[in-house]
């Protein structure tokens, strides 16, 4: 942990940009956390008292990645655990004894939930020790608790779907780090290859988690679109370069393997929300720079990406650092996440794409569509407008679509839970199905989505939301 974090003032951390589902309540967090022993071990390593940079963890893989390598000198107990995890991911023949397997699975799940809850609590307390606790901090947490309580009926239904739907493949391994996993949301029918969205979730670069995309994954899969929700390392487990590396590896996995799950490798879209939109934008700009360079070898290509969708993202860190500081994401913490002030340009896609030293990188970018609510006070909508205008000046096909009065959470959480027609969702689906007349016809006759939370509770949540 960088030393400047320890010298932060005792002021409130006003909001974590898009950490809505994780903040719902301890029970919602427990419901959404999967059985991921490597993730729990990773969280434990981040809260060691020496505050030094964490040691690399032993890599894990499964049969889904086709990588059966084992670290040199790995102890026997680790090999046994790894073989067990890999066999679980590859659907072994344990189901010959259903009763015994179910009982064992339930016991393991209870122990895992208890372990992860304890470790997450310790991590949260560690972060609180850095940030300090004042009356505003406490008031925001009270508001967050009320907000989560109001949306809890929706969280319960989404969580049930996430755990028990047969159309979700959870924790597919895409890389050699413990957080290199993704969830696949598959349509109910398999009549031909489906378009695919590789989705990077938000979470203020601190608490992102793949399950946060569960609601979007459910809704898009209902429209015959496969969704791959990518997990990635969070701060302080990693910094921004680690997050971009993880996102790139996840996109590479989707590009090279999605056909095995019924996806169309010629119709892959990348999408990010909030901090995830920033990470995903950094990823595609970095990929464009690599491809524009001489002799750069990459495992995927931007030519495979049909479009990039950014939802409520920020793309110029120089314009946002003071805003985040005023909102409670203090400058010292933010600079630690972004690897220092000298790295702000590198991780500001809007600034980086204008660098004359990157050659024709801008011409390699896919079409870019940026969604944002004008009532967003976590990341102002001007962030999307400015990025779209910059891209258009460079000849990139880009546009920003603004939703009047919508906040940071409205477009991603409250509106989808409202059921019926959701403007942002319909715009997103229209772009994905723009070249498929049959899909557009099915969209026109699709039944309205059901309501998950009563309207009065959604309106109260809108007014009380601390985001």
Contact of 313 with 379, CB cutoff 8 Å: yes
The residue with tokens 């016809």 is: 441
Question: Which one of the listed residues 252, 274, 400, 465 is annotated catalytic?
Answer: 274
Q: CA dihedral in degrees (135, 138, 142, 145; nearest 10)?
A: 160
Number of neighbouring beta carbons within 10 Å of residue 358: 16
Question: Which one of the listed residues 408, 410, 415, 433 is annotated catalytic?
Answer: 408
Angle between helices 98-131 and 37-46 (to 10 degrees): 20
Question: Which one of the listed residues 89, 183, 246, 376 is annotated catalytic?
Answer: 376
The residue with tokens 């589902």 is: 21
Give one word for 340, left, alpha or beta, with left for phi > 0 and alpha for psi -120 to 50. left
In the annotation, is 433 catalytic?
no
What does the chain come to in residues? 467
Number of neighbouring beta carbons within 10 Å of residue 75: 10
How far, in Å, CA of 221 to CA of 206, rounded?
A: 27
Nearest to 120 by CA among 200, 23, 187, 50: 23
Contact of 183 with 229, CB cutoff 8 Å: yes
Nearest to 228 by CA among 202, 204, 206, 255: 255
In the annotation, is 274 catalytic?
yes
Q: What is the DSSP pairing of strand 368-373 with strand 305-311?
A: parallel
How far, in Å, CA of 407 to CA of 92, rounded?
A: 45
Contact of 131 with 336, CB cutoff 8 Å: no
How far, in Å, CA of 157 to CA of 21, rounded?
A: 12
In the annotation, is 97 catalytic?
no
Give the residue numbers annotated as catalytic, written as ranges: 274, 376, 408
């Amino acid at each position: 942990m960088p030393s400047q974090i320890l010298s932060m003032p005792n002021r409130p951390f006003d909001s974590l940009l898009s950490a809505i589902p994780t903040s719902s309540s301890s029970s919602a967090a427990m419901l959404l956390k999967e059985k991921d022993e490597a993730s729990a071990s990773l969280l434990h390593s981040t809260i060691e008292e020496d505050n030094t940079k964490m040691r690399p963890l032993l890599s894990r893989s499964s049969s889904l990645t086709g990588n059966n390598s084992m670290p040199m000198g790995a102890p026997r107990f680790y090999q046994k655990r790894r073989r067990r995890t890999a066999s679980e991911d590859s659907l072994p023949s344990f189901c010959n004894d259903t009763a015994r397997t179910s009982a064992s699975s339930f016991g393991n799940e209870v122990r895992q939930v208890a372990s992860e809850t304890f470790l997450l609590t310790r991590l949260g307390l560690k972060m609180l020790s850095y940030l300090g606790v004042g009356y505003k901090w406490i008031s925001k947490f009270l508001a967050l608790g009320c907000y989560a309580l109001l949306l809890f009926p929706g969280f319960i239904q989404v969580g049930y779907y996430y755990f028990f739907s047969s159309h979700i493949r959870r924790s597919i391994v895409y890389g050699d780090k413990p957080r290199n996993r993704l969830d696949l949301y598959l349509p109910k029918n398999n009549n031909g290859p489906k378009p695919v969205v590789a989705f990077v979730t938000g979470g203020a670069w601190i608490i992102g988690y793949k399950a946060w995309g569960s609601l979007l994954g459910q809704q898009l899969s209902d429209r015959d679109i496969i969704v791959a929700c990518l997990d990635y390392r969070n701060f302080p487990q990693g910094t921004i370069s680690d997050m971009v590396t993880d996102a790139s590896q996840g996109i590479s996995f989707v590009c090279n393997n999605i056909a095995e799950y019924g996806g169309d490798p010629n119709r892959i879209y990348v999408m990010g929300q909030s901090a995830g939109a920033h990470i995903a934008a950094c990823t595609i700009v970095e990929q464009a720079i690599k491809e524009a360079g001489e002799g750069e070898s990459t495992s995927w290509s931007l030519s495979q990406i049909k479009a990039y969708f950014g939802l409520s993202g920020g793309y110029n860190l120089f314009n946002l650092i003071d805003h985040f500081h005023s909102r409670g994401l203090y400058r010292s913490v933010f600079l630690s996440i972004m690897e220092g002030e000298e790295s702000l340009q590198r991780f500001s896609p809007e600034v980086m794409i204008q660098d004359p030293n990157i050659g024709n990188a801008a011409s390699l970018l896919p079409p870019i569509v940026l969604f944002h609510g004008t009532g967003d006070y976590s990341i102002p909508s001007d962030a999307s407008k400015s990025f779209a205008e910059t891209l258009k000046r460079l000849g990139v096909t880009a546009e920003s679509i603004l939703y009047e009065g919508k906040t940071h959470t409205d477009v991603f959480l409250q509106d989808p839970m409202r059921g019926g027609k959701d403007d942002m969702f319909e715009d997103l689906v229209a772009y994905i199905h723009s070249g498929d007349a049959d899909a557009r016809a099915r969209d026109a006759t699709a039944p309205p989505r059901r309501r998950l939370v009563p309207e009065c509770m959604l309106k109260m949540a809108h007014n009380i939301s601390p985001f």
